[in-house]
A and B are shown apart, each in its own frame.
Chain A
């Protein structure tokens, strides 16, 4: 177990290096001069060639590509993610730190929605397979996976906020502001997990251990919850592990629809402003989240499944 964790931790190092390098390459392929854009955003009245050259030197953009990459990497290792190009008074770390709580609130509530809704619905859909309940839920799953997130967001704003006037349309502040955007983020995950849990349960129902549990005279409810549901959730645990960073990264569209001041909006603004250090930091953050959660949930599954635990112990 200990060896396994150490091995997995070591394996994340090349992975993160790869992610950071790729992200650096792609960002530098954006075809416009970040120095020029930065000057424009700082509202410099007259932008001359000299001024651009001077800014390029200031931002270190006159260095060759690889030098810049290793400089950035070296700074990253010292937890220095640089300074925003557009606003030199702000550090990237500070910007991310300012916006991250809002995104975590959003992703956190979405996760609660996902678990609270998909678990009972998936369970009941499997138990009452082919009844009206299951049919309605299958329609719901089909519809919500087919609809793009931003459109669902707009529909919800139109229906709940404008027509019914129940919740604020957008912005940040109270819990009421959080409900709609979080539901929008959660919706496609809810459908995914309803289907996953339903199918896992139906698959498990055909297993020998279920027949034997019935032959032993156990109560049907105990078989469903203690045995079938628990076995069905095994594979969901890894999936949830991947979904958490996806939720955090996936807020990017919804944050823009609902004017939610999180890292997603920060990232979009930075892309428009060619603010390289912020974009790089965001991509790196998401990469680290994926690697970390993947690792954490693999370990968690180890702890939960006696068969896996045995093999690697």
Chain B
């Protein structure tokens, strides 16, 4: 099966006066329909930067090289207007910090509507029905009320779900989720992960899941790419990476994760009242 998105030798540099600082160095990855690529790395490792470069979300201060083929079409160097139409349409995007990703001055319904109006020819009523349908799909209770709410009146988990719903709205070929579980509490994290697993099981979309959380990635990713200092230090099938990582940095991350998990488990077993 051919890849939905295939990135080759992506390099991103930041122009600082005359100096060029390299942020991402020759990174390559691919993701196919129904598959999930997890990009793992600490903050500043270049994981978000790579995706922003592919989506055309970087300004003129950044220099982007390489190749990014989306459904056979070259994205790098493509006209901004073409990229804009793809974003929110064929490519859905979910970001971290759902609480600050919506404009505080507009109701959720208005912000959903402006997105749908941008990518479809639906009428006002059509947009409203579509919005309600999306909220129901995201298992949000009393969707009519949610449409009337302002962002600050909803929880982070709820807003994250609205975001996922919007990303799904036009049956995208690709969803890029940038740390979608980082800024929300652990109970919401669990249910948000359930939504992503559902998307993956439906098998219609390719999914790129960016996270620094090994536990989260081990739930959903088929393939994993580990980034460190702007380069991909390791990539391959998730099971192999978690079981027998070649790279030192990856092994370090996995060891840390296991240490935390075992301490967590022993704490639970020593104090059963917490678990109950």
Contacts and interface: CB of A to CB of B under 8 A. Distances in A.
Interface of A: 207-209, 211-220, 222, 226-227, 230-231, 234, 305-307, 310
Given A215-B57, A215-B95, A306-B150, A209 B100 contact: yes
A174 B246 CA distance: 85
A307 B100 contact: no
A217 B101 contact: no
B118 interface: yes
B114 A218 contact: yes
A222 B86 CA distance: 17
Nearest to A307: B152
| A216, A218, A234, A306: most-surrounded residue (chain B CB, <10 A) | A216
Nearest to B80: A220
Interface in B73-122: 84-89, 93, 95, 97, 100-106, 114-115, 118-119
Contacts of B101: 208-209, 211-212
B166 interface: yes
Prevailing SS type, chain A contact patch: helix
Nearest to A215: B93
A220 B57 CA distance: 12
Given A219-B84, A306-B150, A306-B152, A213 B103 contact: yes
Contacts of B105: 227, 230-231, 234, 305-306
B186 interface: no
B21 interface: no
A169 B115 CA distance: 55
A227 B103 CA distance: 7
Contacts, number: 75
Interface residues of B, number: 27
Interface string B117-161: 011000000000000000000000000000000101100000000
B55 interface: yes
A234 B87 CA distance: 29
B114 A217 contact: no
Given A215-B95, A216-B166, A231 B87 contact: no
A57 to B, nearest CB: 63
A214 B102 contact: no
A230 B104 CA distance: 10
B104 A306 contact: yes
Interface of B: 55, 57, 84-89, 93, 95, 97, 100-106, 114-115, 118-119, 150, 152-153, 163, 166
B104 A216 contact: no
B118 A216 contact: yes
Given A211-B95, A222-B114, A217 B119 contact: yes
A51 B73 CA distance: 99
Contacts of B55: 215
Contacts of A307: 104, 150, 152
Contact of B95 (A208, A219, A306): A208
Contacts of B103: 209, 213, 227, 230-231
A220 B79 CA distance: 14
A217 B86 contact: yes
Nearest to B56: A214
A213 to B, nearest CB: 7
Nearest to B95: A212
Contacts of A217: 84-89, 115, 118-119
Given A208-B95, A306-B150, A306-B152, A216 B100 contact: no
Contact of B93 (A209, A216, A220): A216
A8 B95 CA distance: 41
Given A216-B118, A306-B152, A310-B152, A211 B85 contact: no
